[in-house]
């Protein structure tokens, strides 16, 4: 847990907060802390953004298996990654701050990669039918909702697999299930996969992508509805301009990001539409 005391001092000098007590907001990137080195990069990014915005942030780990729902309901969220499907369904809805644009994309989107062992017999999605599929959590878009919609086109209302394994909770759990032989295939958040390729290529090399879902709006950084707007707006502005300064550009490059973009709340309605389409096709569960 890292407290950016210098950011607090910078913020206390800001005109909007001069002479006033600063609430302490939290930052968290558990969803994309793919390796310890990547986790350190997120801490560095939050530090950089906090200092530029003059808004104090405390980075909290909230490691698995702690439920993400408890993190997303905290009243002190300042910059916290949230899956787009829970964001769409949340009441009250958190405040969207910004969304990352991965390298190779023109906008803030991602896909779910369906992975198998690189040295195994599964080369395409249909090769896995009749076998075992792992999934992360029923509330996850990349680990449940998106692959369910993809599979619904093949299932025709019936089961595709002999059995499923889940919840495996995290992308690491999905990778482990495949590499350990517990499952033939599993969904993997495409941006997490990109980070793995950059920072742990030896593990990424053991995986084969056998299918991919269509693009969807990527998980976004959110704040609590109770967070002061006078702090959130500077944080948003700092994120959206991170790629414009040398240090920010360096951090983004290491995180395989082009920039941060404004989050478009209405775009996340796609996640609910995919749920409805899978259920209408007679495939309410991965099976």
The answer to whether residues 149 and 264 belong to one domain is no
* 189-246 pLDDT per residue, tens: 999 999 999 999 999 999 999 999 999 999 999 999 999 999 999 999 999 999 999 9
Please check whether residue 56 is in contact with residue 190, taking contact to mean a CB–CB distance below 8 angstroms: no
Mean pLDDT taken over the chain: 93
Please check whether residue 261 is in contact with residue 218, taking contact to mean a CB–CB distance below 8 angstroms: no
Q: How far is CA 121 from the centre of its chain?
A: 29
**Residue 207, class by beta-carbon neighbours within 10 Å (0-12 exposed, 13-18 middle, 19+ buried)?**
buried
The answer to whether residues 115 and 190 belong to one domain is yes
Query: Does residue 224 belong to any structural domain of this protein?
Result: yes
Assign residue 205 the CATH number of its domain: 3.40.190.10
Whole-number pLDDT of residue 4: 32
Mean pLDDT computed over 128-151: 98
Range of the domain at 48: 2-108+217-268
Sign of CA dihedral 69, 74, 75, 81: negative
Structure tokens at 100: 């990352």
137/155 Cα distance (integer angstroms): 20
Structure tokens at 95: 């405040």
The answer to whether residues 78 and 31 belong to one domain is yes
Structure tokens at 33: 């802390």
Q: How confident is the model at residue 21 (pLDDT cuts 50, 70, 90)?
A: low
pTM of this prediction exceeds 0.75: yes
Number of domains in the chain: 2
Query: Does residue 285 belong to any structural domain of this protein?
Result: no
Residue 273: pLDDT above 70? yes
Which has the minimum average pLDDT: 3-17, 76-90, 166-180, 204-218?
3-17
Give the neighbor-by-neighbor strand order of the sheet with 186-189.
186-189, 112-117, 207-212
Whole-number pLDDT of residue 22: 58
196/175 Cα distance (integer angstroms): 11
Query: Does residue 286 belong to any structural domain of this protein?
Result: no
Strand partners, 94: none
Residue 144: pLDDT above 70? yes
Q: How far is CA 180 from the centre of its chain?
A: 24
The answer to whether residues 68 and 196 belong to one domain is no
Query: Does residue 42 belong to any structural domain of this protein?
Result: yes
């Amino acid at each position: 847990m890292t407290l950016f005391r210098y950011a607090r001092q910078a913020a206390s000098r800001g005109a909007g907060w001069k002479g006033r007590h600063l609430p302490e907001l939290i930052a968290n990137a558990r969803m994309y802390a793919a390796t310890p080195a990547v986790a350190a990069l997120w801490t560095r990014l939050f530090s950089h953004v906090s200092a530029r915005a003059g808004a104090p942030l405390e980075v909290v780990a909230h490691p698995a298996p702690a439920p993400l729902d408890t993190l997303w309901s905290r009243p002190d969220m300042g910059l916290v990654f949230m899956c787009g499907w829970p964001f769409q369904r949340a009441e009250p809805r958190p405040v969207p701050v910004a969304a990352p644009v991965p390298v190779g994309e023109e906008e803030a989107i991602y896909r779910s990669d369906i992975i198998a062992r690189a040295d195994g017999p599964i080369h395409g999605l249909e090769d896995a039918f009749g076998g075992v599929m792992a999934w992360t959590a029923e509330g996850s878009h990349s680990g449940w909702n998106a692959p369910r919609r993809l599979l619904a086109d093949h299932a025709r209302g019936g089961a595709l697999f002999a059995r499923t394994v889940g919840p495996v909770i995290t992308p690491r759990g999905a990778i482990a299930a495949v590499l350990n032989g517990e499952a033939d295939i599993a969904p993997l958040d495409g941006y997490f996969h990109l980070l793995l390729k950059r920072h742990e290529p030896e593990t990424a090399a053991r995986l084969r992508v056998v299918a991919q879902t269509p693009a969807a709006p990527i998980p976004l950084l959110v704040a609590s509805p109770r967070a002061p707007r006078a702090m959130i707006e500077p944080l948003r502005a700092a994120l959206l301009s991170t790629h414009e300064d040398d240090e920010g550009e360096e951090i983004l490059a290491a995180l395989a990001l082009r920039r941060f973009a404004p989050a478009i709340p209405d775009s996340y309605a796609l996640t609910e539409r995919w749920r409805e389409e899978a259920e209408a096709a007679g495939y309410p569960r991965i099976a």
